[in-house]
Structure 1
């Protein structure tokens, strides 16, 4: 009876080691780091163990192989007493089936389905075992790592998993049920910002509204009263002769003043802020923040003004257009009888793709 009790105990220990190995390898590393940062004790223990996976694997396999070999020896003794020499084969076959079902498939399946729950429990006893068996584990790792180096593999060069942009996109799609479609779309568009440049979202030169000081003064006053923007480029003739940028809040109280004239208006102009058309949106957003600007003129490689961009244009790439939206865009799209669409050349291709899928 003592041998049977010892055999059952060893089979249970084998199941514990097998399940622990699968749980620790299957646990979500990013959730683990989050829990560890919030002070979760179990998460901290598991994270400490996973920092040196070669030691952890060495410890688990050392324990698992020890109990399996000892179980095999005890099973052989029992079989010899029950069936004689013929019992060796019978005992080996029975033990293989029992270990496969109760110490491998069942615990590993359970650990794969609930890795977090089992890993936190395993962290307690594996940390204690690591402290006791560390010299033996280090000796085993020294030999195994030496063999790996002979094969050209350096364990110390192993890098922790990191997520690239495409992996993050996949993660957002997989975790879509945790976010509303709108929020998920915003997060996905943030990931796209680095691949989008100012030229893709700017207001093109032929659509830029500006004040031309060559126009009659009454006409300029009416433009300043009715313009919906907070800043306007001011030039003579065209954007090629830019004089500056006018913050309209500085002139609103002067529009009824009879002494207000083009000379006084020029005295209120600010220096224009220029940005290259190939600047990534992530970089430009940071530059707007650093310069405390909300409005920039876009120049090409020759220094010619080709358009303008605002903070709202960049934020619109993340949260959608502030005004107009898909309704105003679809006014530029005219379905044809043959199934094709006639689209105005001034329509935004990026917004067109998003709206029409």
Structure 2
């Protein structure tokens, strides 16, 4: 009976450890691991290695959880055979009675503790996970090979997992910064907005060329000011016509027209080019570097397909948190 009790509690303990470690792994701050690793902490270097090779971590956790569940199941079966020999009812009822206990102490509580203090608990228990990683290495290698084969078959890359972990970590890092007063609410919103549009193409916020109100060299200033006031425009692209094609060549600022004395449009600002495949962050960087307020979006063949303004890109960043995931 003592052996059964030891087997049961050891299984619950292993289940709690691997379940909690899984949550802690996804919550640990990678920046802190890097800094501790540079300081010579071998355990931080090991945990950082696992974050860069998530398939190995997942395989080790999977094997550990299955081993823990097997030990718990075996102990319940042995206990039933010793205390209620030949009783089919006991074999059915006892697992149902123990299920809440296993859920609370083997899953819920450890996940909660590791969620609240991932860095502290992983630093205290990481050496245990290191031992199990070495112990399960032969089986983990087989699972890793199978995972790589599935990735090749389905065309998926482990970079997707790494980027997701990095983004979650950075968002948590910003939340912690806000809680400690390092970032105010507006700064945190902007930073999170940058993450929100990091992978969005510039074409998702640009305006198609056919829907843009444009002007030409020689257009009357008064007419442009009247339209700009009605449409609430601050910049207007200047175009020229080649056959049936409309080609953006520059833009004018409405404030310049108010301060100018001319009756016709004669001068304009240059219009930078942004590739349609570029991201919103890349577009913001290019416009900021050029000092311009507007750019034309061009396709791979070099044809203008739309117009994007700095105001549109900034609005995309500020509204990114409102977008559905």
TM-score bracket for this pair, using the shorter chain length: 0.5 to 0.7
Q: Which residue of 2 aligns with 1:129?
A: 132
Mapped partners of 1:53, 1:110: distance in 2: 22
- Distance in 2, Cα, partners of 1:168 & 1:23: 15
**Structure 1: any 5+ residue segments left out of the alignment?**
209-239, 242-273, 289-295, 302-357
Q: Distance in 1 between matches of 2:252 and 2:31?
A: 34
Cα distance in 2 between the residues matched to 1:69 and 1:44 = 31
Alignment correspondent of 1:46: 47
- For the pair 1:110 / 2:162, whether they are aligned, the reply is no
Gap regions ≥5 residues in structure 2: 206-233, 236-249, 261-265, 274-282, 297-325
Task: Output the aligned Cα RMSD.
Answer: 5.0
Q: In the alignment, is the contact (CA less than 8 A) between 2:20 and 2:111 conserved in 1?
A: yes
CA gap of 1:173–1:132, structure 2 versus 1, over 3 A, is: closer
Any idea what the Cα deviations from partners look like across 1:53-78, whole Å, max 9, x if unmatched? Answer: 11111111111211220221122112
Q: Tell me what 1:204 maps to.
A: 256
Pick which of 85-94 and 174-183 moved more: 174-183
Cα distance in 2 for partners of 1:159, 1:127 equals 21
Query: Are the aligned partners of 1:26 and 1:115 in contact in 2 as well (CA < 8 Å)?
Result: yes
Give the secondary-structure state (helix, strand or coil) at the position aligned to 1:84: coil
Deviation, structure 1 residue 19: 0.8
Shift of 1:158: 3.6
How far did residue 44 of structure 1 move? 2.6
Structure 2 residue aligned with 1:15: 16
Asked if the contact 2:63–2:136 (Cα under 8 Å) also holds between the matched residues in 1, the reply is: no
Map 1:1-357 onto structure 2 (within 5 A). 1-29=2-30, 32-33=33-34, 36=37, 41-86=42-87, 87-146=90-149, 152-156=154-158, 158=160, 160-161=162-163, 176-177=178-179, 178=181, 179-180=183-184, 204=256, 207=259, 276=270, 278=272, 282-283=285-286, 286=289
Using CA pairs under 8 Å that are at least 6 residues apart, name the structure with larger relative contact order, 1 or 2. Answer: 2
Aligned partners of 1:128, 1:168: CA distance in 2, in Å?
29
Residues 19 and 108 of structure 1 are in contact (CA less than 8 Å); yes or no, is this contact kept in structure 2?
yes
Q: CA deviation at 1:126?
A: 1.7
Cα deviation for residue 114 of structure 1 reads 2.2
Tell me the residue number matched to 1:232. Answer: none
Larger Rg: 1 or 2? Answer: 1
Given the two structures, how large is their TM-score scaled by the length of structure 2?
Answer: 0.52
- TM-score if structure 1 supplies the norm length? 0.48
Q: In structure 1, what is the Cα distance between the partners aligned to 2:252 and 2:113?
A: 50
| 1:103-158 Cα shifts (integer Å, max 9, x gaps) | 011111222222222233343222232223212211133335545655x2545464
Name the counterpart of 1:265: none
